């Protein structure tokens, strides 16, 4: 046991002397989490999306088109849309250069058609390179169209008066009839206030989770959900790197020299597996500490998380012990190791929220440590004990250890 600990201590010191690769692997999950967090985290402002660039082509240049332009200028809408008035050729050029999500075209005679209560059409030209924002513009314009239709119908009589004013010469207009008409309009506007100020019917939107339980999703929540997936992915990379000594020492001839000392193969194998486990857990805890400090991520009860981290590190050490026992050389280990880790991560939910993944990917994900660690971390975050994750990781880790130890012992004997 003393010799095992001596080898383990020496391994730890050796890796601490050249920690650059490990530090880079530890930095990757932090950088990725930060980048995704900046882009997807809920913002304090009401608008969840960046301001949408909208181009407006006004072929009408009259009262109704000014009204359309004015609706984009309301304070609430200004947060959501940035409107630029332009012509169609310039609009197309701007969309091509990624400067706009959509172009709203107001047809010629738009105002006159509305005054005549004739059907008219607004065109939304959508940027084909974009996927989400053009649809938002289309839906907004559709809602605006409903409101305009309502307004025209509400003030139909007054609208006809305005139409007559626009058509006839000024000196033939019956000004004396305008007074009662304006009076009626005023009454309608006063009556409309009963429905519009405040709005008679409003929506109170809420985001909910399963069973309708309410929740408020914050930036910290996003980081807390993402970090375990990233951490377990890079735990796999780091433990693989640390345990590659098993192969490289044999190829470099160091193993032969070590075996001339009073060190038994089983002690060396034990030191390597224990080293992978202990160093893996240490690295995971450092990532957790950084995640807490930088992103204010919350992990749940520390004792539960420590158990889960220990189980995941144990599984990882056992897996790479087994892996290095069966691969032929360092090149093969290098060529197969990274693809296996990336496949685990892709199917296991480290690269994407499992809820957004196709069902086939989810089914394969059950066979990965990433999935069990991520599921366990979610339970711990909610203050629950991750019994299933612990059981799966520990039991399958024991099976892998049982396979790894005799195979590694055989390959260590010289």
Interface residue with another protein among 12, 90, 135, 298 (CB under 8 A) is 135
In the region spanning residues 287 to 316, those forming contacts with another protein, defined by CB under 8 A, are none
Supply the minimum distance, in Å, between the C-beta of residue 120 and another protein: 6
Interface residue with another protein among 6, 74, 85, 336 (CB under 8 A) is 336
- Per the listing, tokens 């250069």 go with 97
Where b means 16+ CB within 10 Å and e means fewer, 164-183 reads eeeeeeeeeeeeeeeeeeee
Is position 154 an interface residue for another protein (rule: CB under 8 A)? yes
DSSP 352-379: S-GGGS-HHHHHHHTTSHHHHHHHHHHH
Is position 253 an interface residue for another protein (rule: CB under 8 A)? no
3-state class (DSSP) for residue 235:
helix
Interface residue with another protein among 5, 6, 16, 35 (CB under 8 A) is 35
Is position 145 an interface residue for another protein (rule: CB under 8 A)? yes
Is position 328 an interface residue for another protein (rule: CB under 8 A)? no
How many C-beta atoms lie closer than 10 Å to residue 16's C-beta? 10
Largest CA distance in the chain: 118
Contact status, residue 98 vs residue 129, Cβ threshold 8 Å: yes
Please identify, among the stretches 44-52, 172-180, 255-263, 404-412, the one whose residues bind another protein according to the rule CB under 8 A.
44-52
Determine the Cα–Cα distance for residues 113 and 119; give it in Å rounded to an integer: 7
Site track for another protein across 349-388, x = CB under 8 A:
---x--xxxx--x---------------------------
Using the minimum distance from each CB to another protein, give the nearer residue, 28 or 403: 28
Determine the Cα–Cα distance for residues 83 and 80; give it in Å rounded to an integer: 10
Site track for another protein across 223-242, x = CB under 8 A:
--------------x---x-
Using the minimum distance from each CB to another protein, give the nearer residue, 153 or 261: 153
Determine the Cα–Cα distance for residues 54 and 65; give it in Å rounded to an integer: 15
Residue 402 tokens, joined: 């049982």
Q: Taking CA 199 as the corner, what is the angle to CA 194 and CA 200, rounded to the nearest 5 degrees?
A: 70
Is position 128 an interface residue for another protein (rule: CB under 8 A)? yes
Write the CB contacts of 150 (distance below 8 Å, at least 6 apart in sequence): none
Please identify, among the stretches 116-124, 267-275, 390-398, 399-407, the one whose residues bind another protein according to the rule CB under 8 A.
116-124
In the region spanning residues 188 to 217, those forming contacts with another protein, defined by CB under 8 A, are 188, 191-192, 194-196, 198-212, 215, 217
In the region spanning residues 82 to 111, those forming contacts with another protein, defined by CB under 8 A, are 92, 95-96, 98, 101, 103
Is position 76 an interface residue for another protein (rule: CB under 8 A)? no
Q: How many residues lie near another protein (CB under 8 A)?
A: 100
Radius of gyration for the chain, computed over Cα atoms and rounded to the nearest angstrom: 33
Interface residue with another protein among 147, 165, 388, 391 (CB under 8 A) is 147
In the region spanning residues 392 to 411, those forming contacts with another protein, defined by CB under 8 A, are none
Interface residue with another protein among 71, 149, 220, 396 (CB under 8 A) is 149
Write the CB contacts of 49 (distance below 8 Å, at least 6 apart in sequence): 80, 132, 133, 136
Is position 51 an interface residue for another protein (rule: CB under 8 A)? yes
């Amino acid at each position: 046991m003393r010799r095992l600990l001596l080898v383990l201590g020496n391994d730890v010191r050796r890796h601490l002397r050249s920690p650059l690769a490990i530090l880079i692997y530890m930095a990757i999950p932090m950088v990725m989490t930060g980048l995704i967090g900046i882009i997807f985290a809920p913002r304090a402002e009401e608008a969840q999306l960046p301001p949408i660039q909208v181009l407006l082509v006004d072929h009408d240049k009259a009262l109704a088109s000014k009204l359309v332009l004015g609706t984009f200028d309301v304070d609430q809408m200004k947060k959501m849309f940035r409107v630029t008035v332009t012509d169609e050729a310039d609009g197309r050029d701007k969309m091509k250069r990624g400067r706009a999500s959509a172009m709203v075209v107001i047809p010629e005679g738009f105002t006159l058609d509305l005054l005549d209560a004739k059907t008219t059409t607004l065109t939304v030209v959508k940027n084909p390179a974009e996927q989400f924002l053009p649809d938002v513009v289309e839906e907004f314009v559709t809602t605006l169209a409903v409101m305009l239709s309502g307004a025209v119908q509400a003030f139909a009589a007054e609208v006809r008066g305005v139409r007559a004013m626009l058509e006839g010469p000024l000196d033939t207009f019956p000004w004396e009839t305008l007074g009662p008409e304006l009076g009626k309009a005023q009454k309608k506007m006063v009556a409309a206030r009963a429905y519009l100020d405040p709005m008679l019917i409003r929506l109170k939107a809420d985001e909910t989770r399963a069973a309708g339980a309410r929740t408020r999703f914050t930036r910290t929540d996003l980081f807390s959900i993402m970090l375990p997936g990233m951490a377990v992915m890079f735990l796999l990379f780091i433990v693989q790197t640390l345990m590659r000594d098993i192969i490289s020492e044999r190829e470099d001839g160091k193993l032969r020299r070590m075996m001339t000392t009073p060190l038994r193969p089983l002690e060396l194998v034990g030191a390597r597996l224990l080293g992978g486990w202990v160093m893996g857990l240490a690295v995971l805890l450092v990532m957790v500490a950084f995640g807490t400090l930088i992103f204010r991520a919350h992990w749940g009860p520390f004792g539960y998380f420590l158990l889960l981290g220990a189980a995941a590190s144990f599984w990882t050490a056992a897996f790479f012990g087994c892996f290095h026992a069966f691969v032929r050389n360092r090149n093969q280990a290098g060529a197969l190791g990274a693809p296996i880790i990336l496949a685990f991560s892709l199917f296991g939910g480290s690269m994407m929220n499992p809820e957004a993944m196709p069902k086939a990917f989810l089914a394969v994900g059950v066979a990965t440590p990433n999935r069990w660690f991520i599921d366990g971390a979610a339970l711990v975050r909610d203050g629950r004990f991750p019994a299933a994750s612990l059981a799966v990781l520990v039991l399958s880790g024991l099976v892998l250890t049982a396979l790894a130890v005799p195979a590694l012992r055989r390959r260590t004997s010289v």
